[in-house]
Amino acid sequence: MVRQRNTYAALLAIAVGSLGCSQEPTGSASESIRSDSFSVHLEAIGTYATDIFDDGGAEIVAHDADTQRLFVVNGGTSAVDVLDLSDPTAPHLEFSIDVSKFGAVPNSLALSPTEPVLAVAVENEDKQAPGTVAFFDTDGNALSSVEVGALPDMVTFSPDGDTVLVANEGEPSDDYTIDPEGSISIIDVSSCAGHVTQNDVSTADFHAFDNANLDPSIRIFGPNASVSEDLEPEFIAVSPDSTTAWVTLQENNALAIVDIPERRVRALRGLGFRDHSRDGRGFDASDRDDEIRIQPWPTRGMYQPDAISVVPFYGIPFLITANEGDSRDYPGFSEETRVGDLILDPQAFPDAATLQADENLGRLKTTTALGDIDGDGDFDRIYSYGTRSFSVLSPWGNRIFDSRDSFEQITAVQFPENFNSTNDENQSFDNRSDDKGPEPEGVVVGEFTLDDDDDDETVQLAFIGLERVGGIMVYDVTIPWRPKFKAYFNNRDFSQTDPALAKDLGPEGLAFISADDSPTGTPLLAVANEVSGTTTIIGITVSETDD
């Protein structure tokens, strides 16, 4: 049952980069490349609870194998909670790292793969002013700090440990009078990750694209904003060779490709739109129809990914995106409205009155920033936020797989009475159908070895967190363009009338812990749940089954 990945498969993977956005590779690699004869089982084995409800008590999590500690962003206390994971069935707070002297609240953290150093991204009290990345040792002692761009939203180390990358989102002020530039800070930590200075910080900006002809699916729409001001970096993934970073620009429906050695943004890729009118690509559009109704609709979904992760195949870094969706909704400017409030073009939508009923598309949140194709004041197209899916992209940003409506179909079967629930209230059936559905947000990839009588076989699994209804989707991505659903696990107690007692709500950050790094010698998944303020340890069992 050993997978012999052959040269043809590798060449096929390379060819994927030239495919169009919605295509999948043609032809078939050897059937021996991959077997489906294994199962995946997830089980919650331990939880640490902050008792902070709906205030960011647990957001981003990282694991240190040397100390068997978990480092968790606690936005509710403006600190990093450090948990003892030596017994994953009973994780407990060892100490907290106060980051308040570096700014307002921590947004993200990352551990160096080569040194006992923690990097924490901290936003400024004035969110439009430059933020900070502070460095600590793994005992919580402050080492150094540097200034980065406005609203550092995500921080990560390159796999070789030589570079720290920061996604500076640059959100506008509430009145939209100040809109700082989005950027990526690139920090050289090759000499010592704990002792960096401002001279080690470079900025990859978007100035080269201010007057460029961009892909039309890249959304540049903030009032009076340049391209540099409008782009909002969200999340970063880095290639295994530490030379390339891919940065999601969520509100802009785009992907930035960063050349790390050259400290510059090499390319911007528009992520296109999904045609929801086709079979298998629909969704449940209404929170007022009192039923599960996943079907095609005449809308276009903006992919707008949040998290992004890399899955390598024969040295080629494929990308996995969690297509959450997001809008701009500020007192000074809002693009949000509902389909029922649009003036629809009568030729494009002759059945507008029916479509705009609350039980159909009327309640669906949409944008006024797109859709008036001919500029006559009515809307010729309807757009929606996110695609309620995950995608696989080539290194060049071409989409080669999308899970389409499978997340809603799976949750509808497993939790029909709690379908599209919100994450801060139980008994909320269908609550989020009008607004991005289950909201896939976090994604991480883990590698597993299956023992065989003849040899060992390696498989790669993607874990995708659903922010609203909750839970973790698991897909086999060993062949990146042919993912296979393996499991869905939700550690939420829907029977609780008090949501504060409902276990895990709002999975935000995910950290995969390999068997080699685990305190038990078995693979684990650590999940930080933003709404419930819980960090839960999930045991992962991958078992061979009969062919």
Q: Hey, which residues does 256 pair with through a beta bridge?
A: 247, 268
Among residues of the chain, what percentage have pLDDT more than 70?
Answer: 93
- Confidence band (pLDDT; 50, 70, 90) for 37? confident
% pLDDT > 90, the chain = 90
Residue 452 has a pLDDT of: 62
Mean pLDDT of 249-271: 98
Task: Please list, in sequence order, all residues whose beta carbon lies within 8 angstroms of the beta carbon of residue 392, skipping any fewer than 6 positions away.
Answer: 311, 318, 319, 320, 321, 399, 400, 401, 402, 477, 480, 481, 483
DSSP character for 101?
A: G
pLDDT digits (tens, 9 = 90+) for 294-332: 999 999 999 999 999 999 999 999 999 999 999 999 999
Mean pLDDT, residues 496-519? 97
Confidence (pLDDT) at 454: 59
Q: What is the mean pLDDT of residues 126-147?
A: 98
Give the pairing of strands 308-313 and 316-323: antiparallel
Greatest CA separation for the chain:
69
Structure-block tokens of residue 131: 């933020």
| Per-chain mean pLDDT for the chain | 93
Eight-class DSSP state of 416: G
pLDDT at residue 42 above 70? yes
How far apart, in whole angstroms, are the C-alpha atoms of residue 234 and residue 15? 29
* Stretch 387-405: mean pLDDT: 98
**Which pLDDT does position 260 carry in this prediction?**
98
> DSSP states of 14-78 as a string?
HHGGGS-TT----S---GGG----EEEEEEEEEEEE----SS-SS--EEEETTTTEEEEEETTTT
Mean pLDDT (whole number) for 30-49: 77
Q: What is the mean pLDDT of residues 435-453?
A: 91
Nearest to 537 by CA among 63, 18, 137, 146: 63
Q: Is the dihedral of CA 67, 69, 72, 76 positive or negative?
A: negative
Confidence of residue 507 (pLDDT cuts 50, 70, 90): very high
Q: Spelled out in words, what is the top-level CATH class assigned to the domain 7-326+386-544? A: mainly beta
Contacts of residue 8, defined as CB under 8 A and 6 or more positions apart, other chains included, come to: 29, 30
511-533 mean pLDDT: 98
pLDDT score for 22 = 40
DSSP assignment letter at 274: E
